[in-house]
Amino acid sequence: MPAAHHHHRHRPTPRRLPPPLRNRAEALDLLDIAVQRPLRPETLCIPLDPSGQGASILIASGTNDPDAIFGLVEFMAMSAEGGPTDRLVMASVRPMHDLLPGDVDRWLDASAIAQGFGVLLVEWFVVSPTGVFTPRDLLGEPERWTQ
């Protein structure tokens, strides 16, 4: 009778979470990796928990309309409601433009939409060929990373 082989059970490797996003620099590092090159119209939605930990990025492609941000913020905030996610970082990639007229209002409206679901819109980045911009800066509003 052949000797029974003893199988070592392998413990599952713990899932490596992406590093937390706690400030602008860490968010820009992530965008640098996640945004497609050459730039094309897409919107990156990054839900975070209070420690800045996010387990996923949702990327919506073909978001040519600058107002696409509203539906995406609403979708993400609605999905997050009542869960561990209470903050959201958004990035709109605009291959042809940087900031557009109305972006300050878009920032305020998108923030209000998220707030309606108890979610803080921490930042909205606009990624363009000339750099990365934050409409919040146009208002002189303080950063929300530490809130």
| Mean pLDDT of all residues belonging to the chain | 90
Q: Is the pLDDT of residue 77 over 70?
A: yes
d(CA 57, CA 17): 12
Percent of the chain topping pLDDT 70 = 88
Q: Rounded CA gap, 21 and 8, in Å?
A: 38
Question: Token pair for residue 28?
Answer: 């820009």
Q: Where residue 30 falls among pLDDT bands split at 50, 70, 90?
A: very high
Q: How far is CA 47 from CA 39, 57, 83, 123, in A?
A: 22, 7, 11, 11
Look at residues 81, 76, 85 and name the one whose alpha carbon lies nearest to residue 43. 76
C-beta neighbour count of 55 within 10 angstroms? 13
**What band does 7 get if pLDDT is binned at 50, 70 and 90?**
low
Task: Tell me what the mean pLDDT of segment 22-29 comes to.
Answer: 94
12-16, 19-23, 48-52, 90-94, range with the lowest pLDDT: 12-16
For 103, half-sphere exposure in the C-beta direction (CA atoms, 13 angstrom radius) is 20
* Lowest mean pLDDT segment, chosen from 4-8, 44-48, 111-115: 4-8
Answer whether residue 8 shows pLDDT above 60.
no
Nearest to 141 by CA among 106, 116, 108, 102: 108
pTM of the model: 0.87
**Nearest-10 Cα torsion for 59, 146, 49, 141:** -40
Return the higher-pLDDT residue of 34 and 81.
34
- From residue 24, how far is each of 123, 130, 146 by CA, in Å? 9, 18, 11
Distance CA 124, CA 129 (A): 17
**Residues ≥6 apart with Cβ < 8 Å to 18:** 30, 53, 54, 55
Residue 95 pLDDT exceeds 60: yes
Least confident segment among 15-19, 97-101, 135-139: 15-19
